[in-house]
Amino acid sequence: ETGVTQTPRHLVMGMTNKKSLKCEQHLGHNAMYWYKQSAKKPLELMFVYNFKEQTENNSVPSRFSPECPNSSHLFLHLHTLQPEDSALYLCASSQERDLSYEQYFGPGTRLTVT
C-alpha cells in the first residue's frame, strides 16, 4: 500500500464515451501529478497541481481535463479519446513540487480506447 489509490484499475471505453479517473492520496502531500505511461516510452508528465493550483500543463490535448477539488483528490476527465490514448495513467503525489521530494505513485489505471 503506497498511500496513493487510483480507481478504476482498468477501463475500456469507446471514442465517444466520457469517463473519469480518480486518484486519492492519504499522505498529506501538497503536490499531485498525472502521468501517461506507454510501452517503451518515457513517462509523460501531463499535469501538476500544487496546493490545488495547476502549475504545469504539458501541451496535453483538451480531451483530457484535470480537476483537483482539494489537495487529497485528483481527477482526470476523459472525453472523445483516440485509440493512441490507450496507456497506463499514473497518479503521483509528493510533499512539495520539487524533484528532491520523493514522488509516491499509485498503481495506475490501464486505459484501453476502442
Partner 1 sequence: GQSLEQPSEVTAVEGAIVQINCTYQTSGFYGLSWYQQHDGGAPTFLSYNALDGLEETGRFSSFLSRSDSYGYLLLQELQMKDSASYFCAVRDSNYQLIWGAGTKLIIKP
The distance of closest approach from Cβ of residue 76 to partner 1 in the complex, given in angstroms and rounded to an integer, is 16
**How near is the Cβ of 52 to partner 1 at its closest, in Å?**
18
| Cβ 55 to partner 1 shortest distance, Å | 8
What string of H, E and C letters represents the secondary structure of the chain? CCCEEEECCEEEECCCCEEEEEEEECCCCCEEEEEEECCCCCCEEEEEEECCEEEEECCCCCCEEEEEEECCEEEEEEECCCHHHCEEEEEEEECCCCCCCCCEECCCEEEEEC
Stretch that binds partner 1, among 13-21, 39-47, 62-70, 74-82 (CB under 8 A): 39-47
What is the contact mask toward partner 1 in residues 84 to 113, using x (rule: CB under 8 A)?
------x-x----xxxx-xxxxxxx-----
Applying CB under 8 A, the residues found at the interface with partner 1 are 2, 4, 40-45, 56, 58, 90, 92, 97-100, 102-108
